[in-house]
């Protein structure tokens, strides 16, 4: 892969997570579907927050977690996403920069909506249920994309969640064009099965036309290709993108290249799964870190699995130890 | 102990902790004294925050942690302390209320200083070094003390740290008077050896004149009585207060009653000490919960040790499991 000042430019929602353990009954009472992400407005966010238990605030956001993971491997990531001029915005920017991620987007001026927050409810089975108030993050638009940064990054990585931010789509499509014109690769994650359902036609077109490297878990890829069998999905994606990375939780991951053999890599053993938040984000971090450094697809998938295993062994969606020590 | 709607009214600084692991070298570089608390102004807080790694935000504050601990045991605590109208203030109030603590102090109006935050740097030996920006918490004054709440609480528990907030002293002295007039007990923690050094004469007078139950660790009590030998400190406090609880880390605690035999209770075993933040706060929670329920001094000290052992086994200064399940 061509040399560039930055390994991966990650673009996504800039979110602070509020983690709290909760019971299965709590999910039922509030009509929440375990394992998925739902968008909520300010009023619903306040109501849910009032009902839930004491929380822990940690910076999150899918693509931002991926950026932090790449930095933890010793890579050089950058991030684009929008925070407000408020305390959670300060927390988000600090955590990202101090993790080693280049983050130059100025906070939105006072009077804008608040920094996005996501209430992450973790049930005793370590599954997480996400409830996101997008706030100012939903205002990400074309003027926020630094095209020099796109040109200067070996890979442009975009989260599907951004399709829920109305002004972001045009900005992202433009960024993908700029990346391709500069000979860069474009990577994309489907993010969430409900997100795929909301934007299925657009995602299908986008993935086929503009994406080189696709990340999806089993449910998401089935939602995209409209099938139920994993093997059929594997067949389908082979002709859509250059590389498809399909993650299957404890069954590891399957990497489908447009040409060449499908690669199946087992999951890394985990002593105790505490919180699955960030598993997909960190898989992408490991995979892309390896890819930019010219590793084999099998090795990229192994690095993805290592990073995912670390992040699900504790609460929170970013690494707590340097991933560079693991690989 | 006389029945009251609330078991313990805890009064202290309302702080959100920002936890981050750090190296011994980092403490040296920034001239920080391990295991102590220093007060820093806004500029120093920003400089330290910029230099430290990614953080995790959790509600803290010494007396507030004690209140959360009492609620976790199934008790009925209340808290008085001051937050601002900002996001961290919202986080603090939510975490306390959802833990089961009565907290009725309205946030200071917009334009006031920000909610207090404490940068908690945790070294690999699990010791914590505290750097507190008091912000609006330092404006706690007489008008913030709800005297009905003082009268309605079996114990008034005050943190020594409040002596760093200029308007708080008079408010606390008045609250102690009100408590005694209503036949309630007054408990006090020395908080920190440097805090004792800053206010030694006032603390000596306060403890002798107005405090019934004193909490201190070995270093703090030596700083107060001006000695170096623990046995001498034990002798000294016996004549100063009704009950003195002296904590000694892995050596457990020693309870010194004004009349009757000294009680020595071993520490609870801990598999792995992760972060000692909150150990003293949670000891006080267990002890006071037991005391209000008429338990023996030995049993109160055992409950204190149980709560302290739970809180040092994870990052953060509040219980992560219901303490009621432990005792």
The pLDDT tens digits for B10-43 are 999 999 999 999 999 999 999 999 988 999 999 9
Q: Which of A49, A98, A115 shows the shortest C-beta gap to B54?
A: A98
Statement: residue B228 has pLDDT above 90: no
Domain limits at B103?
Answer: 6-13+61-112+138-325
Task: Assess if residue A38 is contained within a domain.
Answer: no
**For chain A, what is the domain count?**
1
Binned at pLDDT 50, 70 and 90, residue A326 comes out as: confident
Statement: residue B245 has pLDDT above 70: yes
User: Which residue of chain B has the CA closest to A89?
Assistant: B87
Q: Which of B52, B56, B133 to mutate to test the interface with A (most CBs of A within 10 A)?
A: B56
The CA distances from residue B220 to A250, A296, B225, in Å, are 51, 59, 9
A53–B318 C-beta distance less than 8 A = no
Residue with tokens 């806004």: B42
Residues in A whose CB is inside 8 Å of some CB of B read 21, 49-50, 52-59, 68, 86-88, 91, 94-96, 98-99, 114-115, 316, 318
Portion of chain A with pLDDT greater than 70, in percent? 99
A145-188: pLDDT as tens digits = 999 999 999 999 999 999 988 889 999 999 999 999 999 999 99
Statement: residue B197 has pLDDT above 80: yes
- Chain A / chain B CB contacts < 8 angstroms: 57
Spell out which residues of chain B touch residue A94, defining contact as CB-CB under 8 Å.
49-50, 54-55
Compute how many other C-beta atoms are within 10 angstroms of the C-beta atom of residue A318.
30
A213-224: pLDDT as tens digits = 999 999 999 999
Q: Could you report how far apart the first and last alpha carbons of chain A are, in Å?
A: 20
Binned at pLDDT 50, 70 and 90, residue A78 comes out as: very high
pLDDT value, residue A315: 84
Task: Assess if residue A112 is contained within a domain.
Answer: no
pLDDT value, residue B1: 66
Angle made by CA atoms A243, A248, A252, in degrees to the nearest 5: 85
Portion of chain A with pLDDT greater than 90, in percent? 90
Statement: residue B84 has pLDDT above 90: yes
Please list the residues that pair with B18 across neighbouring strands.
Answer: B57, B119
Compute how many other C-beta atoms are within 10 angstroms of the C-beta atom of residue A268.
19
Mean pLDDT of A304-309: 97
Q: Which of A18, A54, A99, A115 to mutate to test the interface with B (most CBs of B within 10 A)?
A: A54
Q: Which of B52, B54, B88 shows the shortest C-beta gap to A87?
A: B88
Q: What is the CATH number of the domain that holds A253?
A: 3.40.1190.20
The ipTM is: 0.91
> In this structure, which long-range contacts are made by residues A247-255, counting pairs with CB atoms below 8 Å and at least 24 apart in sequence?
A247/A215, A247/A216, A247/A217, A247/A218, A247/A279, A247/A280, A247/A283, A247/A304, A247/A308, A248/A217, A248/A218, A249/A217, A249/A218, A249/A279, A252/A301, A252/A305, A253/A283, A253/A301, A253/A304, A253/A305, A255/A297, A255/A298, A255/A300, A255/A301
Binned at pLDDT 50, 70 and 90, residue A9 comes out as: very high
pLDDT, chain B, mean: 95
Statement: residue B287 has pLDDT above 80: yes
Please list the residues that pair with A80 across neighbouring strands.
Answer: A11
A214-264: pLDDT as tens digits = 999 999 999 999 988 999 999 999 999 999 999 999 999 999 999 999 999
- Six-digit token string for B327: 């005792």
Task: Assess if residue B119 is contained within a domain.
Answer: no
Locate all alpha helices (DSSP H) within chain A, ordered by sequence: 24-29, 42-51, 62-72, 87-98, 147-151, 168-181, 193-198, 200-210, 218-225, 230-238, 279-292, 297-311
Task: Assess if residue A80 is contained within a domain.
Answer: yes
Task: Assess if residue A67 is contained within a domain.
Answer: yes
CA atoms within 13 A on the CB side of B117: 26
Q: Which of B15, B22, B42, B54 to mutate to test the interface with A (most CBs of A within 10 A)?
A: B54
Please list the residues that pair with A11 across neighbouring strands.
Answer: A80, A158
Q: What DSSP state is assigned to residue B108?
A: B
Portion of chain B with pLDDT greater than 90, in percent? 90
Task: Assess if residue B33 is contained within a domain.
Answer: no
Binned at pLDDT 50, 70 and 90, residue A321 comes out as: confident
């Amino acid at each position: 892969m061509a040399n560039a000042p930055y390994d991966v430019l990650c673009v996504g929602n800039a979110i602070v997570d509020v983690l709290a353990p909760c019971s299965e009954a709590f999910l039922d009472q509030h009509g929440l579907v375990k394992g998925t992400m739902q968008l909520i407005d300010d009023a619903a966010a306040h109501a849910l927050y009032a009902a839930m238990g004491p929380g822990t605030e940690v910076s999150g956001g899918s693509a931002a977690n991926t950026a932090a993971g790449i930095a933890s491997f010793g890579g050089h990531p950058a991030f684009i996403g929008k925070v407000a001029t408020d305390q959670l915005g300060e927390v988000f920017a600090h955590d990202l920069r101090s993790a080693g991620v280049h983050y130059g987007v100025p906070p939105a001026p006072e009077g804008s909506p608040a920094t996005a927050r996501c209430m992450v409810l973790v049930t005793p089975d370590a599954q997480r249920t996400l409830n996101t108030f997008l706030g100012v993050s939903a205002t990400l638009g074309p003027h926020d994309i630094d095209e020099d940064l796109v040109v200067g990054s070996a890979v442009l990585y975009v989260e599907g969640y951004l399709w829920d931010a109305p002004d972001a789509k045009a900005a992202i499509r433009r960024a993908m064009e700029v990346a391709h014109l500069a000979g860069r690769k474009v990577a994309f994650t489907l993010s969430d099965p409900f997100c795929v359902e909301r934007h299925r036609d657009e995602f299908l077109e986008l993935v086929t036309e503009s994406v080189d490297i696709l990340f999806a878990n089993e449910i998401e890829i089935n939602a995209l290709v409209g099938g139920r069998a994993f093997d059929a999905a594997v067949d389908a994606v082979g002709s859509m993108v250059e590389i498809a990375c399909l993650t299957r939780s404890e069954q590891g991951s399957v990497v489908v290249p447009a040409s060449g053999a499908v690669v199946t890599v087992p999951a890394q053993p985990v002593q105790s799964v505490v919180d699955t938040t960030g598993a997909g984000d960190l898989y992408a971090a490991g995979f892309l870190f390896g890819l930019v450094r010219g590793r084999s697809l099998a090795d990229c998938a192994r690095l993805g699995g290592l990073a995912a295993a670390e992040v699900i062994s504790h609460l929170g969606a970013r690494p707590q130890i340097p991933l560079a020590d693991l690989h």
